[in-house]
Structure 1
Amino acid sequence: MAIIRSILDTDLYKFTTSYAYSKLYPRAYGQFRFIDRAKTRYPEGFAELLRQELQQMAELQLTRDEAQFLTRELPYLPPTYIDFVRGFRFDPDEVHVSQDEEGQLSIVAEGLLYRVTLWETPILALVSELYYKVLGVEPDLAYAEQSIIAKAQRLKEEGITFSMFGMRRRFSSDIEDRVTRLLKEYSGTNFYGTSNVYFAYKHGLRVSGTHPHEWVQFHGAMFGYKMANYMAMEDWINVYDGDLGTVLTDTYTTDVFMRNFSKKHAMLFTSLRHDSGDPLLFADKVIARYRELRVDPQIKYIIFSDSLDAERAIEIAKHCKGRIGTSFGIGTNFSNDVGAGIQPMNIVMKLWKCKMTEKDKWHPCVKLSDVDGKHTGEPEEIDLAQRTLGLI
């Protein structure tokens, strides 16, 4: 049986970003590259097994019930885009997979951005689940369920509002399904929802999510690094007109973002998302910036989503209490805590280059993390971006 069994088995931000590209930049092209930060040596033949899974994804088709769910739960996506998703088919020819003699895996997805962006999260979920399956790693289901129930109850006791952000590095689809059900059962209304559209559909949950680094990366490549955050926010507002009001801050470091964050954007966006660096320091910087802009931080939120577990979320919430609202997106610690000695994968797919039309020249894309060593992109372009932004 195929691992990905529904077009909805993806994170919300893939659909919202796809629609934004289709509305504003329908002729833009992009290339995504797979990055394994742990430099895993994959078993011989892994690339071929992955290609087989990708081929099976070409058969996926949105059902009528799924389309009705999108229409009902994602009202900011217009009927024209829902119709596009109903007719959408994954094209495996857009993805090139190979494996070298040392077992290193290469995955490159390239094509029109409104289409090719939809490959990112399913590919990561495929690699993760397929890796454990090929190695014969079995989850300890009793441990996994006991662990998630304890976390769910602990978060509920502390009054923490949180969402499930666990698809990309999940142990398996089945584990994510079980975890989602248990969080709903044991956390109640403290469990805000899930970023996985399919499991929101299956379990009757809110679909929860933000926008991705790639949106800002694209704007950096097209409009320059100094204007990237500003243009990305302006375009998001133009597309969604106040819906989906969370903005990601660390594509070119949080300090650069804060310089770009105007009062207009501080008022229009409901929340900022933290995804790298010290979360407590980040909260202090955000609160200080809101006050500098004469915006009451207590009417705003921070969504924390960087390598969280329940205890870390509780610590952060206590630091922010009475100062700014908080919510939490907890991912791998929910979807891949399945037994002693089973380590989650450290994998991502990032926008590597883009261009405005097929005939244009490619522009390299980079991401400058708040954590040293997590920058992505070609070294010379990373250096250029850092110099342009005064980071060197």
Structure 2
Amino acid sequence: MIVSSLLDTDLYKFSMMQVVLHQYPGAHAEYRFKCRNPGVNLVPYIDEIREELHALCSLRFTEDELSYLRQWRFIKSDFVDFLGLFQLNAKYIDIAPSPEDNGEIEIRIVGPWLHTILYEVPLLAIVNEVYFRNTAPDMDFTEGRRRLQAKIALLRDTPGYADCRIADYGTRRRFSRDWQKEVVTTLHQGLGAQLTGTSNVWLAREVGLRPLGTLAHEYLQAHQALGPRLRDSQVAALEAWAKEYRGDLGIALSDVYGLTAFLRDFDMYFCKLFDGTRHDSGDPFAWGERVLAHYEANRVDPRSKVLVFSDGLDIPKVMELYKHFHGRCQLAFGVGTNLTNDVGPTPLNIVIKMVRCNGQPVAKLSDSPGKNMCDDKAYIAYLRQVFDIPETAEI
């Protein structure tokens, strides 16, 4: 059984789920799976994935797990009570070979947002582990351990980087559950305070770390269907978040419509209200410079705000960004695949994204090409028009 606890997911799933329970309990969602690696054949593993899915759907939160969640100040007691009754239901998922007969598989999740939001992270972890236990069944982790120790030494022992800190963001694309646990445990032992935590709630509890996370793209995308009007959807999403958390979990995600559109909405009120912003697409250096300039233009001291970098990082890139921005703001770095799936075989670049909410298409117009999954070209054109995104801009 690959996933043996419903805590084995990223914290932002619980933080978003709580908002859904309190503010959008009737919302309906649709998610789609995509593997971005060319030539990967996942079809032979469909039966194993289904078997693991059914095992996932048999899980319930234990009383100890609920007590653990209840200790976090931003988790409301009624939400924990709801989780005590919660169970995933496989009726909301369909897994089948692609009709194009190209080795790809289609995973479609359709159902109430409240009852489908927890599928993404454990299901991606399942697909990864099923694939690698079949394609690399006798994996020797000697090389993976050597690489991990080299990363720890680089960050820990390079002069001038004692205050450079990272977090594990690698659950969705890990080689396996056991390997992620070994990685996080080793990082904790080797880096000490330079490891600030992990996005994985189960691992945070197991290893004695802080669980980290706020919100993901699906939350802002859903407001395209939930907000008062499309142009105000980003503002509505941020307002709803602030209403729920009253200052906690104050990191805003900046790339659902591109940085220019985000900064138009992220006015002085939000600059002062939120603790910082997270980068997840586009050039991180250019992004950081523009965000810091935006804070200054809105009479906010950038040194009081956090820039969170989380897009395809490795340790050398973390250190490069730290050197560039150190002293100008507070910094946080989330490293994912390069920590939890750097053992030899090429990692899978797989995602599950929300594509509809309440029957309406939703999309992300990111600052990096290839990250959009909406197949409704008319809706993409409409989004471009509403948010004044030129046709030449990559999505």
Indicate whether the TM-score tops 0.5: yes
Displacement, 1:44? 4.2
Q: 1: distance between equivalents of 2:138 and 2:313? A: 24
Q: Which of 184, 187, 191 does residue 183 from structure 1 map onto?
A: 187
TM-score of the two chains, using structure 2 as the length reference:
0.94
Aligned positions of 1:134-153 closer than 5 A:
134-153=134-153
Q: How does 1:262-277 map to 2 (within 5 A)?
A: 262-277=267-282
1:1-392 aligned within 5 A: 2-72=1-71, 74-100=72-98, 101-157=101-157, 158-159=161-162, 160-223=164-227, 224-339=229-344, 342-355=345-358, 362-378=359-375, 379-392=377-390
Instruction: Give, in whole Å, the separation in 2 of the partners of 1:253 and 1:322.
Output: 26
Higher alpha-carbon deviation: 371-380 or 278-287: 371-380
Cα distance in structure 2, aligned partners of 1:197 and 1:283:
28
- How much has 1:380 moved relative to structure 2? 2.2
Give the C-alpha shift of residue 376 in structure 1: 2.2
Q: In the superposition, relative to structure 1, how do residues 276 and 43 fare at CA in structure 2: closer, same or farther (>3 Å)? A: closer
Given residue 156 of structure 2, which amino acid in structure 1 is its aligned partner? K
Instruction: Quickly say closer, same or farther: Cα 1:363–1:64, change in 2 above 3 A.
Output: same
Using the alignment, how far apart are the partners of 2:152 and 2:378 within structure 1?
45
Q: List runs of 5+ in structure 2 lacking aligned partners.
A: 391-395
Deviation at residue 43 of structure 1 after TM alignment: 4.5
Which residue of structure 1 lines up, in the alignment, with residue 393 of structure 2?
A: none
How far apart in 2 are the matches of 1:297 and 1:323?
7
Provide the identity percentage: 35
The alignment covers a number of residue pairs equal to 382
- Aligned residue identity for 2:165: T
What letter corresponds to residue 338 of structure 2 in structure 1? N
How far apart in 2 are the matches of 1:153 and 1:227? 46
Displacement of 1:208 in angstroms is 0.7
Counterpart amino acid of residue 365 in structure 1: V
CA positional deviation for 1:383:
1.7
Q: Judging changes above 3 Å, is the alpha-carbon distance between structure 1 residues 43 and 262 closer, same or farther for their aligned structure 2 residues?
A: closer
Change (3 A) 1:365 1:44: closer
8 Å CA contact 1:368, 1:376 repeated in 2: no
Deviation of 1:39 after TM superposition, in Å, equals 4.2
Q: Distance in 2 between matches of 1:136 and 1:300?
A: 43
Q: Which amino acid aligns with 1:249?
A: S
Q: Distance in 2 between matches of 1:238 and 1:81?
A: 16
* Contact kept in structure 2, 1:99 and 1:106, CA below 8 Å: yes
Deviations 1:345-372, CA, capped at 9 Å, x for gaps? 11111111011xxxxxx11010111012
Distance (Å, rounded) in 1 between the aligned partners of 2:327 and 2:135: 48
Deviations 1:102-145 (A, max 9, x none): 22110011111112010011111111111111223443312212
Does the Cα contact within 8 Å between 1:31 and 1:111 map onto a contact in 2? yes
What secondary structure does 1:118 align onto?
A: coil
- Secondary structure of the 1:326 match is strand
Partners of 1:390 and 1:58 lie apart in 2 by 42
Alpha-carbon separation, structure 2, partners of 1:138 and 1:209? 34
How big is each residue's C-alpha offset from its partner over 1:37-68, in whole Å with a ceiling of 9 and x where there is no partner? 22444254322221111111122121222112
Code of the aligned partner of 1:89 = Q
Q: CA deviation at 1:75?
A: 1.9
SS in 1 for 2:54: helix
SS at match of 2:117: helix
Amino acid at match of 2:307: I
User: Could you say which residue in structure 2 is the equivalent of 1:359?
Assistant: none
Tell whether the 8 Å contact from 2:43 to 2:105 is kept in structure 1 after alignment: no
Is 1:37–1:346's contact at 8 Å kept on the other side of the alignment? Answer: yes
Q: Secondary structure at the match of 1:209?
A: coil
Indicate conservation of the 8 Å contact 2:171/2:180, yes or no: yes
**Structure 2 Cα separation of the partners of residues 44 and 253 of structure 1:** 35
Query: Would you say the 8 A contact 1:179–1:335 is kept in 2?
Result: yes
Partner SS for 1:108? strand
Write out per-residue CA displacement over residues 288-338 of structure 1, whole angstroms, 9 at most, x where no aligned residue. 100110000011010100000000000001110121111100000000011
**Deviations 1:166-202 (CA, angstroms, capped at 9, x unpaired):** 0001000011010010010001011000000000010
1:358 match: none
Displacement of 1:97 after TM fit? 0.4
Equivalent position SS for 1:84: helix
Task: Please provide the CA RMSD for this pair.
Answer: 1.3
Looking at structure 2, the residues matched to 28 and 349 of structure 1 have their Cα atoms a distance apart, in angstroms, of 18
Q: Distance in 2 between matches of 1:255 and 1:234?
A: 19
CA 40–4 in structure 1, closer or farther in 2 if over 3 Å, else same: farther
**CA distance, structure 1, for counterparts of residue 114 and residue 259 of structure 2:** 27
